[in-house]
Chain A
Amino acid sequence: MISLSLSNLTHEYNERLVFQSVSFQFDGKCMSITGCNGSGKSTLTRIIAGLVTPIDGCVTVSVDGSSIARENLRDVVGLAAPDVRLYGELTARENLEFLSTARSAGIGKHRIGEVLEQVGLANRGNDPVRELSSGLRQRACFAAALLHEPLLLLLDEPSTNLDEDGISMLNEVIQAQMRRGMVIIATNDVQEAALGQKTLDLGGRQ
């Protein structure tokens, strides 16, 4: 029901080629992106999420056979990445309340409690995000990415900073997402990469 197609994707940043002519088709449940540091994993997740325009080529996310326009991508995609942060001055709950109003997709109040519970932040939801530890902050970012029940969940280096309990939470999140739609994991971790039914290896430079 949801499928992803990358065709001839090329991206460069500040006159340096990040990757070139990446083509990939996927319509399964879980896919992983691997590659050395600097091979463009994070950039690729951002391109798929519609945050970055590639220099060349295109990304198509289709739901039930019809492709989603880029300006509507934000309703379908959830992204949790190290450099996608929440507002430090606000509490986790306030952040989620803001994001649910901003999305204006009819996200109920109960959904906020639900995602906080899901990521194990139920009793720290009223602390300002900047006072949370890095692991808890990461969980809050998962909550933000899951808030609108996206059909396509993008996780960039999801297990960094997480403790053992966090890893099992992450696995539950991934399992639940595979039932709902698709999950894409960009990682260097062999175990995580193995979760993917298909792997896109960006390799390394040179």
Chain B
Amino acid sequence: MLDNNQSLRTDTTMPLALRVGLGVWMSAVIIGTFLFVPPAQGFASPDAARMVIFHIPCAIVAVIAYIISAIYAIAFLSKGKIMSDEKSAIAAGLGFLFTALATVTGMIFAQAQWGKTWNWDPKQTSILMLIMVYAAYFTLRSCIPGQIARAKISAAYNILAGLIMPFLVIILPRMLPSLHPKSAHLSPEYQIALACAAIGYIVLFIWMFRLQVRIAEYIMAARRVRIG
């Protein structure tokens, strides 16, 4: 196992330059957001609207993570490599983290703009459904004994959930009126800052994903040694 001194040098999941770059990049995005991006027009609280620069990338990364999770689930069912199942679960877990962040930042934003933390706005409804779907996924994983059965069943559930997603995210919200503004409201500075933040979040996600995969590989290797 790695000790703390070594971990900085031996962490090969992402090059050191990229890790430092990520820190500088995200700092720049934060400073830029609060110093250079103007308050957004058309919001109840224009200053607090800067929240979207951190809120929307969370949702984008969450969707990417769930898509990656579904792809690894399909890969597991077609090739049968147990590591694909681990990767699928890791991507879903990170997706869950970013969904939670998107929900919380969204709720703070809703409180500032619309005066209510929860509005049953279509986007809020969809994200709540996403949380339910993946909470159920982790519950299911935790209660099936046997590694292979667990991997197969949770992969099947993951794919089914992915197919239900359009119904949850597109069709159900159409039955409700929306508070969310169209993106056209945002000025170009906002869109640039948003894109920069999204890039930073995605790189962060990739790093977190690779770190967790490395941990899962270590755990697997350790188990092989123990029972083999």
Give A contacts to B, CB under 8 Å: 12-17, 20, 53, 55
Contact = CB atoms under 8 A, between A and B. Distances in A.
B139 interface: no
Q: What does DSSP make chain A's interface, helix, strand, loop or mixed?
A: strand
A14 B146 CA distance: 5
Contacts of A12: 147, 227
Nearest to A11: B148
A130 B151 CA distance: 35
A53 B227 contact: no
B148 A14 contact: no
B141 to A, nearest CB: 14
A20 B228 CA distance: 8
Interface residues of B, number: 7
Interface in B135-168: 145-148
A55 B147 CA distance: 9
Nearest to B82: A55
A14 B143 CA distance: 12
Interface in B47-106: none
Interface string B198-224: 000000000000000000000000010
Contact of B148 (A16, A17, A55): A55
Q: What does DSSP make chain B's interface, helix, strand, loop or mixed?
A: helix
Contact of A17 (B145, B146, B228): B228
16 contacts: A12-B147, A12-B227, A13-B145, A13-B146, A14-B145, A14-B146, A15-B147, A15-B223, A15-B227, A16-B227, A17-B227, A17-B228, A20-B228, A53-B148, A55-B147, A55-B148
Given A13-B145, A15-B147, A20-B228, 9 more contacts: A12-B147, A12-B227, A13-B146, A14-B145, A15-B227, A16-B227, A53-B148, A55-B147, A55-B148
Closest 3 CB pairs of A and B: A17-B227, A53-B148, A14-B145
Nearest to B148: A53
Nearest to B226: A15
A16 B148 CA distance: 13
Contacts of A14: 145-146
A184 B228 CA distance: 28
Contacts of B148: 53, 55
Nearest to A21: B228
A12 B223 CA distance: 11
Contacts of B228: 17, 20
Contacts of A13: 145-146
Interface in B99-148: 145-148
A8 to B, nearest CB: 13
A50 to B, nearest CB: 14
Nearest to A13: B146
Contacts of A55: 147-148
A123 B85 CA distance: 52
A5 to B, nearest CB: 19
Contacts of A16: 227
Contacts of A17: 227-228
Contacts of B223: 15
A193 B21 CA distance: 68
A13 B147 CA distance: 8
A175 B149 CA distance: 37
A192 to B, nearest CB: 30
A14 B147 CA distance: 7
Contacts of A53: 148
A105 to B, nearest CB: 27
Contacts of B147: 12, 15, 55
A5 B140 CA distance: 35
Nearest to B145: A14
Nearest to A16: B227
A97 to B, nearest CB: 31
A119 to B, nearest CB: 32
B34 to A, nearest CB: 50
Contacts of B145: 13-14
